[in-house]
Structure formats: C-alpha cells, structure tokens
Chains A and B, each alone.
Chain A
Amino acid sequence: MINYRVLKKLVAAALVGGFVITAQAGPEEDRQAFVDSYKWKFPNVPMEEYVNGVYAIDKVGRENWEAIEEFPPYEIFIDEGLTMWEKPFANGKSYKDCFPEGPGIAHKYPHWDKQQGMVMTLPLALNQCLEANGEKPLKYKKGPINNILSYIAFESRGQVTNLEIPQDDPRAMEAYEEGKKFYFTRRGQLNFSCATCHLQNTGMQVRTEILSPSVGHTTHWPVYRSKWGTVGTLHRRFSGCNNNIRAKALEAQGEQYRNLEYFLTSLSNGLELNGPGARK
C-alpha cells in the first residue's frame, strides 16, 4: 500500500530541493548480508542459535560443549570477578563508583566515545577506571582482567546486542568502516582475511576445526578455551587468529582491534549476550 499523495509530495519536495536520495548500504545492510550468507548455508539454524558460535553448526562439537557447560569451567572466574568488583581500591572507591549502573553493562560496549574520539571497549573502560583511581591497569589478554570481565559478562546475560553508530560524529562511522576494512583485508603469509574463514568458508574445516560464523562472534566473551586452560579476552582471540594465518598480531586494545570489535559487534545486533563462554 503506497500512499500516492505522500509519494507525490515527496517527489515534489525532492525535485524542488534538488537532491537525490540514493539507496545506501550501511551497517544494517552489512549485517543482513552476513545473515543472508549464513542462512543460505545453514537454512535450518535459527537466528538465536548464532550466539553459540560454531556449536550452532557443529553437531558433534555441540554435544561435547553441552557436557562441558554442565559444570562450566569459567565459574570460578566469575566468583573471582565478583570479589574484584566488591573490593575497594586503595583510595576507598571501587568499580561500583565508575559503573554506578551495576555490573550488567556488557551490552553497552563497545560504543563510540565522542569525547575521546575512539571506540570504547569494556576492558578499556575498566582500565580507565583503575587508572583514574590510582590503580595499576590490567593486562588486556591474560590474567585478572578476565575475572572481572567474566563477572560482568555473567551479570549481563540476557541483554541484547544493540550497537548503534551515532550520527552526530562522522568519526564513529569511520571507525566502523575501518573495522570492516580490517575484516576484509588479507593478512599474513597465508593471505587470509577474517572473511576468508568466517564468511566465505564458514562451516568448512581447517584441520580438525569447523569455522564459525561471524554473526555471534562477540556475544560470549570472555571465553574459557580448553586450549588455553583458562579464560581469555576477545582481543587475545584476535591475536590468535592473526597468528594462525601467520600475520604478526596487533596490539590488544589498539585502535585496529577496537575498530574490528566495533564492526563485529554490529554484526551481532539483535543477539543476546551469553558470556562467559566455553570453547574448545
């Protein structure tokens, strides 16, 4: 049903105004293109399953994973994180003062920080909180940052990814575009891009592993990886991916990885958070 009167007015307005609205491909169209590609490959996998990463499409792996999830290996890290959350800093303040809304805040990250002109991720915000209170910042890949992140992730379960790119600062869209470019740029001696594995060849195997879809990649961090024997951050995983394709890993929480996280998170818009996760 098209209202022709409105249409006429619109056309007239456009002609008078002398502007042409062209169809544009933005983040939502990008996300849809990813979803379409996966739907075509895995027609029977419902959208909400994508939060489980490769286990949405790997039956055998899924059985093992479900068994692991009965006694989640990341539980102790959540407990440790709770202790960190509660424990006052040397100056008497605590994380609670930096994040007055409470620990269920993972869905608010990453977001565009207009003041600092950069993508603000949760680990970065945590460290800024520490530094503002005279505490030593945490390392970004391994160690205690994963405890606090595990606790926050657990408290954020059920929140929905809803990354919105603000229109009032063009740098935000630039950061998204940079992240997208990173995703599609071939790197390393193997000449792979993120897309080679996680879009073009999703569901195929590299050695014994089945390649996961990118939609859902960001919903469940930090992750307890059996390979690591502990919980690690998303940026640790980025480094691992880059290493696997024989590219030199970039700096965790550096601009490139943060922009990549921004782009990737946008692909998971509409999906529930279910961290911390467990993976092989």
Chain B
Amino acid sequence: MHTKKRLSVVLLAICLSSGSASLIAADAKKGDPKMAEAQAMITAAEEARKKAASVDSEWRDTGKFIKKAQDALKAGKTDDAIRLAKVAEDQGNLAYEQGFSQKELKLPSYFKVKASAPSPVSAAMSMKAHKITPALTSVEVMHKGEMVSISRTADENAVIPKAYASTARECPPFCVQPMAIGPGVDTIGELEVLDYLERIAKGDPTVLVVDSRTSDWMVRGTVPGSVNIPWNRINIDLQGTFGSQAEVDSLDEILQNQFHARKTNGEWDFRNAKTLVLFCNGIWCPQSTANIRTLTKLGYPAYKLKWYRGGMQSWVSAGLTTVNN
C-alpha cells in the first residue's frame, strides 16, 4: 500500500512536471516499478528537506543524500537510490520535528538569569505574593507519577508542622552536621533542590532526589519528587564490610536499579550513575551524611553527590509544599 501511494505521487508528478522527471517516469512506465518508487522516494525526501529548511532546521547532509540518490537513480542503481532517499527523508522529518519543537524559546535549566533587583516599589507591591523567589512562583514536579506543584504556603497563619517543631535532640545520635561533608560533595539549598526536581520532571534520567529517612517518616510528608531510600539500606560498617548477605544484596540492588551504577567482575562502575541529592530531617540529622560517606567509600564520584543539608525542617520552614507518601 505504501508503494501504491508513492506511485500515485509519482504519476501526479508526471502530469505536472516536464523534462528529466517525466523521462524517468516514462522509463518507469516501461516496466521498472522500482524506478518509479525510487523517484517517488526522492521527491518525498526533497519535500521533507524543504519542510526542515522552512523552520531553519535543515541538517548538513540531507541535500547531499538526495543528490547521491538522484545520481544513483540516473546510474540505474534503484536499490541504492531508494536507500539514500530514505535516509534523506528520515533526516528531513527529524530535522523538521527538531525545529518545530523549538518554535518557542525554552531556556535550559543551566541558564539562570537573575531578575534585576526589584525596585522598592515592586517589592512593596508584591509583598502579598507568596513567591519562592521574585522570579519563581512554583515548580511542577512528578511524584509517583503525578504532577505536583511546589509553591510556598499562602496561609497567613501557617507555622512549622509539629513533627519538625521540636528543638530538643539528643547527641549522639542527633549531632549538628558540618557545612561540608567531603571534598567535591556540594552542599545545596532549596533552590538547587528545586532545580534538580524540575530536571527530573522534564525527563532528565540522570538525577535522583533521595529522602534518606526511615519509611515511618513518610507519613509526615516529604519533598515532592523525591524517592524514599531509608538510610540503613545503604550501610557498610567501619571496616568496609557488610553486616549480612541480605544487606549486600539490598545495597547492590539499590546501586544498580535506582542509582544506575554497574557492577562488572565485582567492581563498581559509576560512569553512568545518577547524580544524587540526599537529605534527611535537618541539620542535626546524620543519616544522609552517613549515606554520602558510604557511597564515597564505594567509589561513587563526589561530584555526583549533592547534600541538601537543611533537609525537611528547612523545607517546611520555608513553607514549601510537601506530600504524604
């Protein structure tokens, strides 16, 4: 049916055009349906190329492939002509799609323009707006397959939720954590976490935001877009050995399936491993710290580890949206 359609295209072309096209078509009429097919494919390729050019998105080699296809057809090499025209048509279609998809300028996440300092007037005027930053009102993220909009609470009477209100914490274990926990590991804040969440929502498969707390905390809410991997599942003791085989399996599984590290001949390969953003309850919570240290020990590249030191307590104190798992 495909060929038939192409044939009708070429027959139309015969009626409309003169010169070499009709000569080739005449040849095709004489009996070589492949020749007609090749000609139709070349016409289709040229159409696709033009379509891409119409959105300024033509690729470098598409025209060359069409030229080669025409030469092949002239030389009677119909199979080559068909193959080359197909490559050109595919290129043209992809290039058009590429150009069309970018009709509107979408600035990449790594390009961060800070709006100029708002004038005192606009600061005064926008006092009632509960924005995250002057230029950012909300961030759309995916949480367990559903869109969640992260914004700041507009409730004038909102306070820090009870679960995070207590300031009495025993040390050990709840000791105050340092600002930097290892060379190369970035300590980050809410805006950076939001950036990473946005990247995930936009389909970036190289990032994972990890809530390191034990699962019982999830009912009290977590950062939308994060996944819960309890800290005690990423655990090796001080000698670098595992407590039990079950723990080894569990850690291997997390590293491979969730962090996308690879294990070959017992050696970890972290080249394709995800960038991890880890957090727990707050600046006095040692769990994400411990996890990052463990991962570093296993060879996880430090630049792929980001630590949201403020954690949940900081998140809720900014009035940012949480979800209950």
Complex CA gap A2/B125 in Å reads: 16
* Min CB gap B97→A, angstroms: 11
| Shortest CB distance B99–A (Å) | 8
Interface CB pairs A-B, < 8 A, 24? A7-B121, A11-B120, A11-B121, A21-B119, A21-B121, A23-B115, A23-B122, A23-B134, A24-B116, A28-B116, A29-B115, A33-B113, A36-B112, A37-B110, A181-B105, A184-B105, A185-B99, A186-B102, A188-B59, A200-B110, A247-B58, A247-B59, A248-B53, A248-B58
List which B55-106 residues lie within 8 A (CB) of chain A. 56-63, 91, 95, 98-99, 102, 105-106
**Chain A residues whose C-beta falls within 8 Å of the C-beta of B179 in the assembled complex:** none
Closest to A11 in B: B124
Complex Cα gap A14–B124 (Å) = 10
**Least Cβ distance of B177 to chain A in Å?**
24
- Whether a CB of chain B sits under 8 angstroms from the CB of A57 is no
CB proximity of A168 to chain B, nearest CB, Å: 21
Could you say which residues of chain B place their CB within 8 Å of the CB of A2? 120
Interface of chain A residues 19 through 54 with chain B (CB within 8 A) = 20-26, 28-30, 32-33, 36-37
How far apart are A201's CB and chain B's nearest CB, in angstroms?
Answer: 10
Give B8-55 interface residues, CB cut-off 8 Å to A: 53
Distance of A153 Cα from B56 Cα, bound (Å): 31
The reply on A111 being an interface residue by CB < 8 A is no
A187 pairs with B112, CB closer than 8 A: no
Please determine whether B113 and A187 come into contact, CB atoms closer than 8 angstroms. no
Q: Is A64 interfacial (CB 8 A cutoff)?
A: no
User: Which residues of B lie under 8 Å from residue A14 when comparing CB positions?
Assistant: 121, 124-125
Q: How far does the alpha carbon of A180 sit from the alpha carbon of B113 in the complex, in Å?
A: 13
- On chain B, the residues within 8 Å of A13 by CB distance are 121
Contact B98 A187 (CB under 8 A): yes
Q: How far is the CA of A180 from the CA of B108 in the complex (A)?
A: 12
B118 at the interface (CB under 8 A from A): yes
B2 at interface by CB-CB < 8 Å: no
**Whole-angstrom CA separation of A241 from B113 in the bound complex:** 25
| Chain B residues within CB distance 8 Å of chain A | 53, 56-63, 91, 95, 98-99, 102, 105-108, 110-122, 124-126, 134-135
Contact indicator B121/A24 (Cβ below 8 Å): no
Contact A189 B135, CB 8 Å, known A7-B124, A11-B124 = no
**Which of B57, B111, B117 has its CB near the most chain A CB atoms (within 10 A)?**
B111
- In angstroms, how far is the closest chain A Cβ from the Cβ of B117? 7
Binding site for B on A (CB under 8 A): 2, 7, 10-11, 13-14, 20-26, 28-30, 32-33, 36-37, 177, 180-181, 184-189, 191, 193, 195, 199-200, 242-243, 246-250, 256
Output the least CB separation between B261 and chain A (Å): 22
CB-nearest residue of chain B relative to A3? B120
Q: Is the CB of A25 within 8 A of B135?
A: yes
Give Cα A112–Cα B126 distance, bound, in whole angstroms. Answer: 35
B60, B63, B98, most chain A CB atoms within 10 A = B60
Q: Is the beta-carbon distance between B115 and A195 smaller than 8 angstroms?
A: no
Which residues of B sit under 8 angstroms from A32, Cβ to Cβ?
113-114
> A2-B120, A186-B102, A243-B60 are contacts. A25–B108 as well, Cβ < 8 Å?
no
Q: In the bound complex, how far is the Cα of B116 from the Cα of A177, in angstroms?
A: 18
Q: Among A189, A195, A247, A248, which residue has its beta carbon within 8 angstroms of that of B108?
A: A195
* Contact of A256 with B56 in the complex, beta carbons under 8 Å: yes
**Which of B62, B121, B122 gathers most chain A CB within 10 Å?**
B121
Given the known inter-chain contacts A185-B105, A247-B59, A248-B60, please indicate yes or no for A195 contacting B121, CB distance below 8 A. no
Residue of B nearest to A34 (CB): B111
Contact check, A29 vs B113: say whether CB atoms are below 8 A apart. Answer: yes
Given known contacts A184-B111, A185-B102, is B53 in contact with A21 (CB within 8 Å)? Answer: no
Residues of A within 8 A of B59 (CB): 188-189, 246-248
